[in-house]
Amino acid sequence: MPSTRPSAKNLRSTAASPRNTQQLPKDLLTVADIPQKKVGDLIRLAKKIKAAHGVSKPTFPLKGKTLGLIFEKPSTRTRVSFEAGMNQLGGQALFLASEKIQLSRGESLADTAKVLSRYVDGLVVRTFDQAALEEWAQHTSIPVINGLTDHCHPCQALADLLTIVEKKGRAKGLKLAYIGDGNNITHSLLEVGAKVGMHVSVGCPRSYEPDARIVKQARAEGLQTGATIEITHDPMLAAKNADAIYTDVWISMGQEGEHQVRMTALAPYQVNTELMKQAKPSAVVLHCLPAHRGEEITAEVLDGPQSVVLDQAENRLHIQKAILLEWLGK
């Protein structure tokens, strides 16, 4: 009997396409750039992709398309999910380590971007400075997707949203507590929460608060969607009655020189069994990985029954495929 699940070929048509009513931006640089309705559309498309994965007969809507990946930072999930996703959709991916191309020998970013626009259909850029990412977008005629910067990580936050919706049935009205450093992950979670009406409470040390401009923008958007944004220095307060608890490493790439200072400042913000008692008994635990057991989270919690981190990691593949279809599938 043929499967009743949607095939990859008609995934975009069966989901509400983000281009039906509003124009998607040329590039995916931040979650804030995506219109509110389109965030929900991407999640629905990713769910359809996931339902069809390994069940329906493969089709190849991106056949003939090529994705370039420019990475200045190490990666496991971002690189593999984009490469695998592109291959599964019928296209191909080219990994372009920044030190292996002429950028490392002085060719300008602008020239490189313009040349690559003639060769490939889209770029995923993983770099340090958000301004560099924006420069890539400025000089390309093809879509540029943020594979992570020090400022934000939109693809991760969209995968996190997909995971929460899967586990809880919705996002609107739920409380997400982020505990730890107010970093790039925090920024994208604030933006995604504001888009979908999910309350976000950040528990962080005073000197590690998220960017005030992003907090202000998220609060303003939350007035339209019903989301509330809370920044507190009390991790227990942030976690109180939360539907989801999220944490990330205390020392991100490029911050190794701050190791001892960060370890001391963030020690009270560990996600452990005591903190989990503040959340709802049904709360799920998220971590974007890689994790350092015994630092930002205990092994008991990370590997415990409330943890959904492996589903969260898998969902990078499905949300990435939805992004590729929408940004490259023109």
Active site residues: 126, 153, 156, 248, 288, 316
| Residues 153, 323: Cα–Cα separation, whole Å | 14
Contact (CB, 8 A) for 190 and 243 = no
Rounded to 5 degrees, what are φ and ψ at 292?
A: -115, 95
Cα–Cα distances in Å, from 142 out to 126, 228, 253, 314? 16, 35, 28, 27
Q: In the structure encoding, which two tokens stand for residue 22, read together?
A: 């509003």
287 DSSP assignment: E
Is the sign of the CA dihedral 137, 139, 141, 147 positive or negative?
A: negative
Rounded to 5 degrees, what are φ and ψ at 286?
A: -120, 145
Residues contacting 219, CB < 8 A, separation 6+: 194, 228, 229
